[in-house]
Amino acid sequence: MVIQTATLGYPRIGKNREVKKALEGFWSGKLDSESLLQTVRQVEESNWQTQLQAGIDRIGIGDTTLYDSVLDWSVYLGLIPERFQHLSGLEQYFAMARGKEGIPALEMTKWFDTNYHYLVPEISAQLLSADFSDVLETVHRAQQILGQRAVPIILGPVTLLRLSRLEVPISELVSPLCDRYLNLLLALKPLGVEEVQIHEPALVLGDATNFKEYYESIYASLAKVGLPLHLVTYFDDLGENYPWVVQLPVSSISLDFTRGRNLELIKHYGFPADKRLGVGIVDARNIWQIRPDRLLPILEEIQPITSNLSIQPSASLQFVPYDATRETKLPEPLRNVLSFAEQKLQEVVFLARTAAGEDLKQERESIQASWQVFEQFSPANQVVQDRLKNLKMDDFQRSLSYSLRLSEQIPLPPLPTTTIGSFPQTSEVRQLRVKYKRGELTLAQYHQSIDTQIAQCIKIQEEIGLDVLVHGEFERTDMVEYFGQQLSGFAFTEHGWVQSYGSRCVRPPIIYGDVVRTEPMTVREFKVAQSLTEKPVKGMLTGPVTMINWSYPRTDIARQEQAFQIALALRDEVADLEAAGAKIIQIDEPALREGLPLKTERWNEYLSWAVDSFKLSAGIAKPETQIHTHMCYSEFGDIITDIERLDADVLSIENSRSNNETLYELTDGGYSKQVGNGVYDVHSPAIPNTEQILSQLRTGIANLPVKQIWVNPDCGLKTRRWEEVVPSLKSMVQATKILREET
């Protein structure tokens, strides 16, 4: 027996972020378009070679992109909003991605529950004609390298519609869009491709049932072309839609066996004999080597149900970096249990051969041995384990309720003004960190330079007249990395970049062991700042949920347990900050909302531990300590009771970009605590004037009692320049003064 292998997409930024660098060169005018395209093609072709050499049978192609693959499909399909129609070529493409003087870009949002961001297609009645020449050219090029193994990846029509912003009723778009996909398949057929992958991840969303008729009618039409269609789903299970989805007229269906309950579904309902099952069993969303003792039994359960299967990663490998073997600075026992894209290809092949009956004893034993070495290298930490075991209900609660502790907290003027934490990260500040890392500055010299920055920042905030000050976060590269680097149990890679959006890449930390705080992480900088001013300085921490959502978590223990461990570390930090004199401590949770599972029936389970871990970190604070949290670019309408349950005294939110939507959600939901209603957009270089901020504040006052309102920008000021920050904050303080006199 032979079991085939497949891939559903590959990292496309280049092993050394070549695409990122080429894009930046092109945008700054240093690189011409031909060189840019050549770089992208080289990265693409080397990806193909890697997958070919690994022995993958059906290699997904066509997902390489200059910016975003969803944007690519908008362009191929002629879904170009009117405001871009006068442009063409790369100019049009990058205008859609990034905007251009006076022409706003397409909206960007998260791709399902990943940290990848895509550009939301906008579909109006005015469709342009489709142009698939780039798709065909890529197929042609891929076939020269991969031959019959090249399988074009197509973004599915219903997922595209489901994710788009529609200016016309969906029912009117189905037929024109279906025609375009038909034309694409008709053009691909003569090229001799053996099948096409049509990715329909929207099938795992809770509302997939509402789109059933579209799936059925569109796929019935597409099937007529006679090109084998491989319907690909991922990120969760098909849920109640399983029975009709597996009846769609396609030749293969891929399911994610790393998340959700697809295994139960196929065991319960069976799987159609006339289709191939794509078994997405190698986790494309995390970086751990497989554990054959866990995965082989799953395959053994699947095989009696259908023997017509292929083994593959659970989704595109774009969510993991290229190659774990390059991480030579990581301890070997850890490195040997990491698996990035290249290692995952080998795992796919290993599992397929094993499932086909080969006994790959040596490989299996070597994997097992590396796990054993790792377990000895990173044993459980008894102290943390005991603390977790002995947690009591009280540990999650402040000792006094909000209404009772309020009067004990620091007195402040009405409409207190503050910022979200970070101040400009100038190149001077970044240089300091680089020099320290290179050993060009001693620790003492580095601290001294950071303290100079803190002192300047405090002075500026006092001159501006803010009520609650911050130290400015100059010592932090990134809000998760900074804490992770000081906690044991976190590891950081050198080359582990993944695409966040366009040319932006991130290197998510890896949580590999029990998380322990060995010493205070923020107290020194807090003390320096507080010693320079009579005004209160906020202690500034990153919350446990954000830390875990922006990292690759462990898979041997539950996420809840990992979040609680981080929460305990932060809890100790809160206590230390208090002891050092902090009257106000902010615990940022910008990623709380984005961790919500795709299926609403699993929201409660997540929110329960997510909110609990925040409360565990803050619960130790004395009644007189004011706890703040910050969540930007979130929606609260449907999670308002959970936000209330966080029991933070003050919540600062983004508002100016969402046009006060967030504020209305809170006020409609009857939110009872204080709200820092973001008064200006920090992502724009524009300096708001007093009038603009006044009008934003007035909206706040019209919706919430004055005593519940704080005044702050939407988010941290890290990416802005001082020349922008100072006048903007002055307008903010000025507007607040005017209002205080009025009210």
Chain contacts with ligand GLN (rule: CB under 6 A): 420-422, 473, 479, 540, 588, 590, 630, 632, 715-716, 718
**Burial of 582 (C-beta count, 10 Å sphere; 0-12/13-18/19+):** buried
Compare residues 252 and 674 and give the one whose CB is closer to ligand GLN: 674
Write down the least CB distance from residue 626 to ligand GLN, Å: 16
Q: Which residues are catalytic?
A: 683
Write down the least CB distance from residue 630 to Zn ion, Å: 6
Residue 293 CA to residue 369 CA, distance in Å, equals 12
CB 321 within 8 Å of CB 493: yes
Structure tokens at 152: 């074009």
Compare residues 74 and 712 and give the one whose CB is closer to ligand GLN: 712
- 16 marked as part of a ligand binding site: no
Strand partners, 499: 505
Quick one: CA dihedral 417, 420, 426, 429, positive or negative?
Answer: positive
Compare residues 590 and 688 and give the one whose CB is closer to ligand GLN: 590
Type of residue found at 17? R
Compare residues 201 and 539 and give the one whose CB is closer to Zn ion: 539
Structure tokens at 688: 């708001």
- Per DSSP, the three-state class of 519 is coil
Residue among 389, 318, 360 nearest 568 (CA): 389
- 389 marked as part of a ligand binding site: no
Residue 731 CA to residue 90 CA, distance in Å, equals 39
- 594 marked as part of a ligand binding site: yes
Write down the least CB distance from residue 453 to ligand GLN, Å: 15
- 630 marked as part of a ligand binding site: yes
Compare residues 201 and 590 and give the one whose CB is closer to Zn ion: 590
CB 612 within 8 Å of CB 538: no
Residue 348 interacts with, from Zn ion, ligand GLN, none (CB under 5-8 Å by kind)? none
Residue 344 CA to residue 51 CA, distance in Å, equals 10
Residue 160 CA to residue 200 CA, distance in Å, equals 8
Residue 344 interacts with, from Zn ion, ligand GLN, none (CB under 5-8 Å by kind)? none
Residue with tokens 């006094």: 400
- 576 marked as part of a ligand binding site: no
Write down the least CB distance from residue 589 to ligand GLN, Å: 9
Residue with tokens 């693959």: 69
Write down the least CB distance from residue 588 to ligand GLN, Å: 5
Compare residues 353 and 718 and give the one whose CB is closer to ligand GLN: 718
Residue among 156, 133, 150, 189 nearest 48 (CA): 150
- 19 marked as part of a ligand binding site: yes
- Per DSSP, the three-state class of 488 is strand
- 460 marked as part of a ligand binding site: no
Q: Does 479 bind Zn ion (CB under 5 A)?
A: no
Residue 448 Cα to chain centre, angstroms: 35
Residue 678 CA to residue 696 CA, distance in Å, equals 9
Write down the least CB distance from residue 664 to ligand GLN, Å: 21
CB 728 within 8 Å of CB 681: no
Determine which helix (DSSP H) or strand (DSSP E) holds 278, and give its type and residue range: strand 276-282
Write down the least CB distance from residue 81 to ligand GLN, Å: 29
Write down the least CB distance from residue 655 to Zn ion, Å: 11
Strand-pair category, 487-491 with 584-588: unpaired
- 288 marked as part of a ligand binding site: no
CB 587 within 8 Å of CB 618: yes
- 438 marked as part of a ligand binding site: no
Residue among 273, 263, 262, 166 nearest 214 (CA): 166
- 264 marked as part of a ligand binding site: no
Type of residue found at 376? Q
Closest residue to bound ligand GLN by CB: 716
What is the greatest pairwise CA distance in the chain?
82
- 603 marked as part of a ligand binding site: no
Residue 411 CA to residue 395 CA, distance in Å, equals 27
Residue 538 interacts with, from Zn ion, ligand GLN, none (CB under 5-8 Å by kind)? none
Write down the least CB distance from residue 586 to ligand GLN, Å: 7
Q: Does 715 bind Zn ion (CB under 5 A)?
A: yes
Site mask for Zn ion (CB under 5 A), range 611-650, x = bound: ---------------------x------------------
Site mask for Zn ion (CB under 5 A), range 571-600, x = bound: -------------------x----------
Compare residues 422 and 503 and give the one whose CB is closer to ligand GLN: 422
Compare residues 47 and 625 and give the one whose CB is closer to ligand GLN: 625
Residues of span 499-518 touching Zn ion by CB under 5 A: none
Residue 423 CA to residue 495 CA, distance in Å, equals 28
Residue 479 interacts with, from ligand GLN, Zn ion, none (CB under 5-8 Å by kind)? ligand GLN
Closest residue to bound Zn ion by CB: 632
Compare residues 310 and 712 and give the one whose CB is closer to ligand GLN: 712
- 421 marked as part of a ligand binding site: yes
- 457 marked as part of a ligand binding site: no
Type of residue found at 687? I
* Residue 275 DSSP symbol: S
Write down the least CB distance from residue 39 to ligand GLN, Å: 31
- 117 marked as part of a ligand binding site: no
Residue 422 interacts with, from Zn ion, ligand GLN, none (CB under 5-8 Å by kind)? ligand GLN
Write down the least CB distance from residue 712 to Zn ion, Å: 10
Compare residues 318 and 425 and give the one whose CB is closer to Zn ion: 425
Q: How far is CA 725 from CA 68, 688, 729, in A?
A: 31, 10, 6
Q: What is the CA radius of gyration of the chain?
A: 27
Residue 122 interacts with, from Zn ion, ligand GLN, none (CB under 5-8 Å by kind)? none
Residue 182 CA to residue 198 CA, distance in Å, equals 12
Strand ranges inside 72-228, DSSP E: 108-110, 117-119, 122-123, 150-155, 165-166, 196-199
Residue 421 interacts with, from ligand GLN, Zn ion, none (CB under 5-8 Å by kind)? ligand GLN
Count, in order, helices (H) and strands (E) of the chain.
27, 22
Compare residues 57 and 588 and give the one whose CB is closer to ligand GLN: 588
Residue 508 CA to residue 549 CA, distance in Å, equals 10
Type of residue found at 510? I
**Burial of 474 (C-beta count, 10 Å sphere; 0-12/13-18/19+):** buried
Binding-site residues from annotation for L-homocysteine: 420-422, 473, 588
Residues in the site for Zn ion, rule: CB under 5 A?
Answer: 590, 632, 715
Binding-site residues from annotation for Zn(2+): 630, 632, 654, 715
Binding-site residues from annotation for L-methionine: 420-422, 473, 588
Binding-site residues from annotation for 5-methyltetrahydropteroyltri-L-glutamate: 17-20, 110, 115, 504-505, 550, 594
Binding-site residues from annotation: 17-20, 110, 115, 420-422, 473, 504-505, 550, 588, 594, 630, 632, 654, 715
